[in-house]
């Protein structure tokens, strides 16, 4: 059996595009529908109930598009809404935290793991729980980096401002001797060169979103809902609540797509 | 939520121990129950209906032991019975073919993939289907190696006989220019040094069973049924239909367990 319906990706903004990029690489037969709530981004500092509501609105939008699977390509939304959405929907729902935690445990040698994310993700403690459940003795150091998402969403991720913001935010890791750092926000891979520069070559950087794509790939097989390999070009669709131009600029930068189908929409 | 019930592994003989070895490494919190139908091994040359029946008998044995997940740690049984068993049981069931096929597609550069397995596995064409579904242009060369399993089950896997059997069996790959070889039988990793010697250093060897453990790990998280991390030693249990001594010798060789709990049983 095969299933050529799209996979739905949702994010508070453009960060989930880093997950889509990996999905297009690993799963070239699949059609991507993406929604980014760029108008209401960032989610990180918002109250839990509001994050839950916004995430449900995006989920319902994708469900109306008849997606076969939903990827919550946003750590904040995963931390706060994954469990409830997974329980409620009848299609598979994948988050980004468990894959990131599993990858960290696989790569760390000294069991000292850093996690960076939004305030919402770090305060939820979900990474610590996921890691400690498997490995109670691991040390997990979480740092909220509330300035990172606005820098990415405003396309300043290569600026000198970005450089000093990243440097300042990661300074508390000095002396912690972590050997693995989870980029626990799908926006952060856009800042990876600066994060790499700050942490040095020896610290392993984990892209939670890219890790999630392996889970998607496995579940497509497990539920026997992978798309057929065809010669036809995929009709990917990108929806956003904010500026089309900003979205197109970043997605062009990141996905190397000459032209993509973008649609500004209103939620709910 | 956590779940400390055992994971059940089944195989026609001792081959599945190569999967258990990987599971013990990747999933140290989990308890393993294993059944090997060593008395009726090999399954490879048997008729499809008989393989299906024997696999169901092992499945029912494990279900009575209250396992939380079943791993069909045998390519032949996966090829012939996975789909039916997965549809019937209410617990997750994992096979070894899809994980092996995914790994091959991830590692190959020239899309020329070799597969070795029992006659049952190769004749089923399941590897070819799994690979072509995702990548129709890949060349898949399957070779049945009916002599490999008896060599492993009779503990001759390091002998000079083994060396010439392996060399002869793999000769048809000459000139095929494959860059990736799936060891599509869980017995074959015990012959890996000889397979490596024959294929050369450049061909990537894929252990389908080890790949399946990543799927197990993911599904434990996905269904939220991973075991707690505790200090208690796990009470693994090994059941076999044939000689205890042979089983213990090979499992000692492979699992480096000083003493394991082995029980000879009768099926059905």
Active site residue A41: no
Produce one character per residue of B216-251: b if its CB has 16 or more CB atoms within 10 Å, e if not. bbbbbbbeebbbeeeeeeeebbbbbbbeeebbbebb
For the four alpha carbons of B48, B75, B102 and B20, in that order, the dihedral sign comes to: positive
Tokens of A258: 């000459």
A268 contact partners, CB below 8 Å, separation of at least 6? A57, A60, A61
Mind listing the pLDDT tens digit of every residue in chain B (268 residues)? 678 999 999 999 999 999 999 999 889 999 999 999 999 999 999 999 999 999 999 999 999 999 999 999 999 999 999 999 999 999 999 999 999 999 999 899 999 999 999 999 999 999 999 999 989 999 999 999 999 999 998 889 889 999 999 999 999 999 999 999 999 999 999 999 999 999 999 999 999 998 999 999 999 999 999 998 887 888 999 999 999 998 998 888 877 776 789 999 999 8
pLDDT of residue B85: 98
* Arithmetic mean of pLDDT, A62-84: 97
Question: Comparing A81-90, A139-148, B74-83, B250-259, which segment has the lowest mean pLDDT?
Answer: B250-259
Higher pLDDT, B144 or A230: B144
Chain A residues with CB inside 8 Å of B225's CB? none
Q: Contact A102/B222, CB-based, under 8 Å? A: no
Q: Confidence class of residue A268 from pLDDT cuts 50, 70 and 90?
A: confident
The packing angle between helices B208-222 and A208-222, to 10°, is 100
B76 near B43, Cβ under 8 Å?
yes
Tokens of A156: 């300043």
Active-site pick, A10, A23, A74, A93: A74
Residue A255 pLDDT > 90, yes or no? no
B135 at A interface, C-beta within 8 A: yes
Q: What was the ipTM of the complex prediction? A: 0.84
User: Bridge partners of A7?
Assistant: A32, A69
In angstroms, what CA-CA distances link B180 with A184, A215, B47, B200? 34, 23, 29, 11
Q: Confidence class of residue A260 from pLDDT cuts 50, 70 and 90?
A: confident
Peptide bond into B268 cis (omega under 30): yes
pLDDT of residue A1: 66
Active-site pick, B93, B162, B185, B195: B185
Interatomic CA distance for residues B45 and B148, integer angstroms = 12
The closest CB to that of A215, out of B136, B218, B228, belongs to B218
Residue ranges of domains in chain B: 7-95+210-264, 97-208
Tokens of B21: 């070895």
Min Cα distance A218 → chain B (Å) is 7
A100 near A74, Cβ under 8 Å?
no
Size of the A and B interface in Cβ pairs below 8 Å: 46
Min Cα distance B228 → chain A (Å) is 6
Active site residue A145: no
Residue A230 pLDDT > 90, yes or no? no
Q: Contact A218/B215, CB-based, under 8 Å? A: yes
Q: Confidence class of residue A164 from pLDDT cuts 50, 70 and 90?
A: very high
Q: Which CATH class is domain B97-208?
A: alpha beta
A134 at B interface, C-beta within 8 A: yes
**Residue from B211, B213, B229, B231 to probe the interface with A (highest A Cβ count within 10 Å):** B229
Min Cα distance A268 → chain B (Å) is 28
Answer whether B7-95+210-264 and B97-208 agree in fold: yes
pLDDT of residue B233: 81
- Does domain A7-95+210-264 sit in CATH 3.40.50.150? no
B227 near B30, Cβ under 8 Å?
yes
Residues 103-132 in B contacting A (C-alpha not used; CB under 8 Å): 106, 130, 132
Q: What is the pLDDT of residues A103-116, one digit of tens each?
A: 999 899 999 999 99
pLDDT of residue A217: 95
Interatomic CA distance for residues B217 and A113, integer angstroms = 20
Tokens of A94: 């994948």
Residue of A nearest to B212 (CA): A218
Q: Contact A217/B102, CB-based, under 8 Å? A: yes
């Amino acid at each position: 059996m095969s299933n050529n319906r799209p996979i739905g990706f949702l994010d508070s903004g453009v960060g989930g595009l880093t997950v889509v990029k990996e999905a297009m690489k690993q799963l070239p037969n699949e059609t991507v529908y993406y929604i980014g709530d760029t108008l209401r981004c960032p989610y990180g500092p918002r109250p839990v109930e509001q994050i839950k509501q916004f995430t449900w609105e995006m989920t319902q939008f994708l469900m109306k598009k008849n997606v076969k699977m939903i990827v919550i390509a946003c750590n904040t939304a995963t931390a706060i809404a994954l469990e409830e959405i997974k329980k409620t929907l009848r299609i598979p729902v994948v988050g980004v935290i468990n894959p990131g935690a599993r990858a960290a445990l696989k790569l760390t040698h000294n069991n000292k793991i850093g996690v960076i994310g939004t305030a919402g993700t770090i305060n939820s403690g979900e990474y610590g729980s996921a890691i400690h459940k498997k490995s109670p003795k691991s040390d997990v150091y979480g740092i909220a980096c509330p300035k990172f998402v606005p820098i990415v969403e405003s396309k300043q991720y290569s600026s000198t401002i970005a450089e000093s913001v990243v440097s300042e935010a990661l300074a508390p890791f000095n002396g912690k001797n972590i050997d693995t750092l989870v980029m626990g926000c799908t926006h952060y891979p856009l800042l990876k060169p600066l994060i790499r520069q700050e942490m040095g070559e020896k610290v392993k950087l984990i892209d939670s979103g890219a890790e999630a794509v392996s889970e998607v790939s496995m579940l497509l097989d497990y539920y026997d809902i992978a798309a057929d390999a065809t010669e036809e070009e995929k009709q990917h669709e990108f929806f956003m609540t904010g500026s089309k131009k900003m979205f197109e600029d970043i997605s062009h930068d990141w996905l190397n797509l000459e032209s993509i189908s973008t649609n500004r929409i209103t939620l709910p």
